[in-house]
Amino acid sequence: MDKWLWQARFFKTRSLAARQVSAGHVRVNATKITKASTQISPGDVLTFPQGNTIRVVKIDALAKRRGPAPEAQTLYIDMTPEAAPQSPRVGPRPTKKDRRDLDAFRED
């Protein structure tokens, strides 16, 4: 498990991938996995956090080595849902004077 996550370039080091798995943050076919040595095969669906997003990938192939990024991208099919659109900011940012006025208003 940890070796494949590292070979597919989801994590910089294999120890980081193993730490995520052993912490229980990775799911294989909706089952929580805590052993980094868990066997995976093509067709399995992995769910794990990466940064601020939850990644969902389907394993397409197993790798023999950790190759370049274009080669690593052929190992999986990305099924991560699109992020919900965020609402745009309403109005410009307050100026220093606006913040001072707000602070003065709150103190009253």
CATH number of the domain within which 68 lies: 3.10.290.10
Instruction: Evaluate whether residue 32 is within a structural domain.
Output: yes
**Predicted structure pTM score:** 0.75
Mean pLDDT of 16-23: 96
pLDDT-derived band of residue 84, with 50, 70 and 90 as boundaries?
low
pLDDT at 87 over 70: no
Residue span of the structural domain in which 39 resides: 2-82
pLDDT-derived band of residue 13, with 50, 70 and 90 as boundaries?
very high
Instruction: Evaluate whether residue 55 is within a structural domain.
Output: yes
How many structural domains comprise the chain?
1
Instruction: Evaluate whether residue 8 is within a structural domain.
Output: yes
**Cβ(62)–Cβ(88) under 8 Å?**
no
pLDDT at 8 over 90: yes
Mean pLDDT of 58-68: 95
pLDDT at 90 over 80: no
Per-residue model confidence as pLDDT tens digits over 24-59 = 999 999 999 999 999 999 999 999 999 889 999 999
**Cβ(78)–Cβ(47) under 8 Å?**
no
Instruction: Evaluate whether residue 105 is within a structural domain.
Output: no
Give the integer Cα–Cα distance in Å for 69 and 4. Answer: 13
Instruction: Evaluate whether residue 106 is within a structural domain.
Output: no
